[in-house]
Amino acid sequence: MIVDAHLHVWRAAPNYDAKTAPVTTAVSSTSDVPVELLLEYMDEYGVDRAALVQPMFPGEDNSYVADSAAANPERFTAVCIIDPRTPGTEDRLEYWVRERGCKGLRLRPRFKAEEAIFGSPATYPLWERIRALNVVVNVLANPEHLATTAALAGRYSDVPIIVDHMGHPDVNAGVDSPAFQALLDLAQFPQVFVKVTGHYYYSRQRYPYADCHDLFRALYDRFGPSRLIWGSDFPHVLFNTTYRRCLLLNQREFPFLSAANLELIMGENAAKLYW
């Protein structure tokens, strides 16, 4: 079982104003990234399932990822976006989960617009609804948001939380830095997972991102293989390396991983969370 637990597909948004985007990405929102293209990569490389994470620019219109997952539920699940700053957040989440079948929610304190409300008591009703709906929370965070993540993990100990892209670590600061130690300290919460993904966002080197290897080993030592999760970051990965190289990174670079360890990281952990 191989599960690509972090990727994006979308329909083109020809009128999208990139100047107002919270961040820019390598692949333009004015181009289609269809689920059919993703399937070609998955089929070619033997990837069984995938979590379709809502991209930023459609906002709360999660229709494309939700419909794609609903049309092929054995292979896809959907992670939606809800703006936690606006009234009625809990009910909108319930709609996307109960009516449209989404299994996850992505919160994005890394975006300045959403940073201030992350962890605010005003969002506790949303977290209560997350708990009631058995939703998996994906957190797009910087190191400075990990203390709040820890507080939420302590308050909602039965809500699975996945930290995206290793929390965007400061590779220069290294494993012993307080910021990275804050990520490692999240291992005290058994429902917290880490996506070992998106290396090119923080590495100072090209593939195979050797300067991130000690970070991976530290995460492995603290969390164990049962709480680390692989994902490709398709389609952005195609502009930084290749899908296949990303798929083989852990197998090639970390000989201490047994076959059973690799099976957990490369698919079984995500399959248990979403399926």
Sign of CA dihedral 150, 171, 255, 48: positive
> What pLDDT, on a 0 to 100 scale, did the predictor assign at position 56?
84
Cβ contact 28:62 at 8 Å: no
Q: Quote the domain boundaries for residue 242.
A: 3-274
The total number of structural domains that make up the chain: 1
Q: What is the pLDDT of residues 120-142, one digit of tens each?
A: 999 999 999 999 999 999 999 99
Q: Count each helix (H run) and each strand (E run) in the chain, helices first.
A: 11, 8
Q: How far apart are the C-alpha atoms of 227 and 78, rounded to whole Å?
A: 20
Q: What is the pLDDT of residues 168-208, one digit of tens each?
A: 999 999 999 999 999 999 999 999 999 999 999 999 999 99
Beta strands at 228-229 and 161-163: parallel, antiparallel or unpaired = unpaired
> What pLDDT, on a 0 to 100 scale, did the predictor assign at position 59?
82
> What pLDDT, on a 0 to 100 scale, did the predictor assign at position 14?
61
> What pLDDT, on a 0 to 100 scale, did the predictor assign at position 39?
98
> What pLDDT, on a 0 to 100 scale, did the predictor assign at position 110?
95
pTM: 0.95
Cβ contact 152:145 at 8 Å: no
User: Which residue stretches of 87-226 are H helix?
Assistant: 89-94, 112-115, 124-133, 146-155, 178-185, 213-223
What distances in angstroms separate CA 243 from CA 34, 152, 203, one per listed residue?
A: 16, 34, 18
Ranges in the chain, pLDDT < 50: none
> In degrees rounded to 5, what are phi and psi of residue 181?
-60, -30
> What pLDDT, on a 0 to 100 scale, did the predictor assign at position 28?
67
Of residues 142, 221, 229, the one with CA closest to residue 192: 229
Query: Nearest 5°: CA angle at 243, between 240 and 245?
Result: 80
What is the CATH classification number for the domain harbouring 237? 3.20.20.140
Q: Which residue has the tokens 């899908």?
A: 243
Q: What is the pLDDT of residues 28-44, one digit of tens each?
A: 677 789 999 999 999 99
Query: Nearest 5°: CA angle at 17, between 5 and 94?
Result: 45
Sign of CA dihedral 240, 246, 249, 252: negative
